[in-house]
Amino acid sequence: MARKVVNRKELRAQADAAEARGKTAKKEKPVKEKKEKVVKEKKVAAKKTTRKKVVKETRMKAYWGVFNQGMKKLVTFEYADKRAAEKKAADLGPNHFVQLIKEPITEA
């Protein structure tokens, strides 16, 4: 269905004519005073206390390890014996190497 086209000029002319006669097309509402809005303060939630995990310090000891190409540890040497570890790796062949190992010290 087609809508009826509203002619705004005619409506305006009718409103002006009614106003001139003392009758208003619209009833005027009394102006209400605006009330000031009361701003409520938002309550801030208290922060929850969290317990941090206490990290226990573990002492580490360094060793030299001789490894093969499959990362299998063959022999370990004390940190001061690096030359002995390198000599052992050279004796085992070109596919063996020396790498630093750090292990935790267990107090017994």
- pLDDT at site 23: 55
Q: Is residue 73 part of a domain?
A: yes
Given the structure tokens 């001139």, which residue do they identify? 20
What amino acid is encoded at 28 in this protein? E
DSSP 86: H
Residues 96, 68: contact at Cβ < 8 Å? yes
- pLDDT at site 85: 97
Q: Is residue 39 part of a domain?
A: no
Q: Is residue 18 part of a domain?
A: no
Q: Is residue 96 part of a domain?
A: yes
Q: Is residue 76 part of a domain?
A: yes
- pLDDT at site 74: 96
Which residues of the chain, if any, have pLDDT below 50?
24-25
What's the total number of domains in the chain? 1
Instruction: Please give the backbone phi and psi of residue 105, each rounded to the nearest 5 degrees, phi first.
Output: -85, 125
Residues 85, 75: contact at Cβ < 8 Å? yes
Q: Is residue 72 part of a domain?
A: yes
- pLDDT at site 25: 43
Q: Is residue 22 part of a domain?
A: no
Helix ranges (H only) for 47-100 are 82-92
Given the structure tokens 């750090």, which residue do they identify? 102
Task: Please tell me the pTM assigned to this model.
Answer: 0.48
Tens-place pLDDT, residues 26-53 = 556 666 777 777 777 878 888 888 888 8
Residue-range definition of the domain harbouring residue 95: 62-104
Q: Is residue 77 part of a domain?
A: yes
Above pLDDT 90, what percent of the chain?
44
